[in-house]
Amino acid sequence: MQIIETVAALRSALKHQSHITLVPTMGNLHAGHLHLVALAKQQASCVVVSIFVNPLQFGANEDLANYPRSLEADCEKLDAAGVDIVFAPSVIEMYPQFDGQHLNQTMTVTAPAIANELCGASRPGHFSGVATVVAKLFNIVMPQLAVFGKKDFQQLHIIRALVQQFNLPITIVAGDTIREHNGLAMSSRNSFLSADQKNTAAQLQQELNAIKLQIQHGSTDFNALILAATERLQPSGWLVDYISVRSALSLAPATTQDQSLVILAAAKLGNTRLIDNVDLLR
């Protein structure tokens, strides 16, 4: 496995590859990422995993400085998983206009209005930052396929829109969410949780599944279901950012006509913000 840090070296390493699959990550890899890598490996192509903690997608008060970084351990896992190339650029390599403090000379992708809802409502600019770095990674790697996790459902939606609206010749493959034994969705941010919090954290998925079950049994009063779930979460210390029932296709608020739904949530446990979602067909 090659570990490459510059765009020029990556381009040269990929020069003769005709079928490339990219798995973009921010590192601190867990079983969820390795599942995405396994999906990439199934494509029988050259597998590139990028590891880059993208400053452009973090707000001023977010956890950029503390975001867990573990390049050496990540590379060991990726080597064992049969990855061909790890692309681990520096901030200056990805954003040559970075002056050590500001990225305000950066040309960015403006994400569509849906990026201001759900996670975007409390993370202004986040999805523009994601779309910008993903567009750059696509231009650098020029993959035929790219794999993203369904855990970040809104991100997946916005990346699909990026590919479609910018006419990028890239197929997006979506990987299922991998969970801990207790149902907690795997996330790099789980490493911020204490053992006690990890137990409590499983409750988020339980509440999403409870809503799913009630919708499957015919309930259409989504607001009442959301309110009841929020009230059950609060006593265990959850600060619910949102729980929302949406069309899985458009991410617009669900109507009783929609067949394919997704229930999404973001909530804070202590200082750690967790997200999760479950989808369902009616």
According to the binding rule CB under 6 A, does residue 54 interact with ligand PAF?
Answer: yes
Q: Phi and psi (nearest 5°) for 23?
A: -120, 100
Least distance between ligand PAF and beta carbon 199 (Å): 25
Residues assigned a catalytic role: 33
Least distance between ligand PAF and beta carbon 159 (Å): 7
Closer to ligand PAF by Cβ: residue 54 or 203:
54
Under 8 Å between Cβ of 51 and 89 = no
Closest-CB residue for ligand PAF? 24
Q: Which stretch, 22-30, 60-68, 170-178, 274-282, contacts ligand PAF (CB under 6 A)?
A: 22-30
Least distance between ligand PAF and beta carbon 255 (Å): 29
Q: Which of residues 130-149 bind ligand PAF (CB under 6 A)?
A: 130, 133-134
Which residues lie closer than 8 Å to 148 by C-beta, 6 or more apart?
24, 36, 155, 156, 159, 172, 173, 174, 175
Contacts 24+ apart (CB under 8 A), 237-240: 237/200, 237/269, 237/270, 238/200, 238/203, 238/204, 238/267, 238/268, 238/269, 239/267, 239/268, 239/269, 240/265, 240/266, 240/267
Query: What span, in angstroms and rounded, lies between the C-alpha atoms of 200 and 205?
Result: 10
Least distance between ligand PAF and beta carbon 155 (Å): 6
According to the binding rule CB under 6 A, does residue 111 interact with ligand PAF?
Answer: no
Q: Which of 74, 84, 152, 207 binds ligand PAF (CB under 6 A)?
A: 152
With the C-alpha atoms ordered 239, 243, 249, 252, is the resulting torsion angle positive or negative?
negative
Closer to ligand PAF by Cβ: residue 159 or 267:
159
Note the residues at the interface with ligand PAF (CB under 6 A). 24-26, 54, 57, 130, 133-134, 152, 155
